[in-house]
Amino acid sequence: MAGSSLLLFLCTGNYYRSRFAELLFNWQAAAVALPWRAESRGIALQLGIHNRGPISPHVLAGLRARGCLLDAVARFPQQAQECDFARADRIIALDETEHRPLLRQRFPSWIERVEFWQVPDVPHVSAASALAAMETRVYELIRTLSQKFS
Q: What pLDDT digit, counting tens, does each position of 80-107 carry?
A: 999 999 999 999 999 999 999 999 999 9
pTM of the model: 0.93
DSSP state of 122: T
Burial of 95 (0-12, 13-18, 19+ CB in 10 A): buried
Evaluate whether 40 touches 9 at the Cβ level (below 8 Å).
yes
The pLDDT assigned to 1 comes to 46
Laid out side by side, the sheet with 36-42 consists of: 36-42, 5-11, 90-93, 114-116
The pLDDT assigned to 123 comes to 81
The pLDDT assigned to 62 comes to 94
Q: Looking at the domain 5-89+96-148, which fold is it?
A: Rossmann fold (3.40.50)
State which residues of the chain have pLDDT below 50.
1
CA distances for 59 relative to 32, 73, 135, angstroms: 22, 10, 11
The pLDDT assigned to 19 comes to 95
Evaluate whether 10 touches 110 at the Cβ level (below 8 Å).
no
Q: Which residues of 50-69 are buried (b: 16+ CB within 10 A; e: fewer)?
A: ebeeebbebbbebbeeeebe
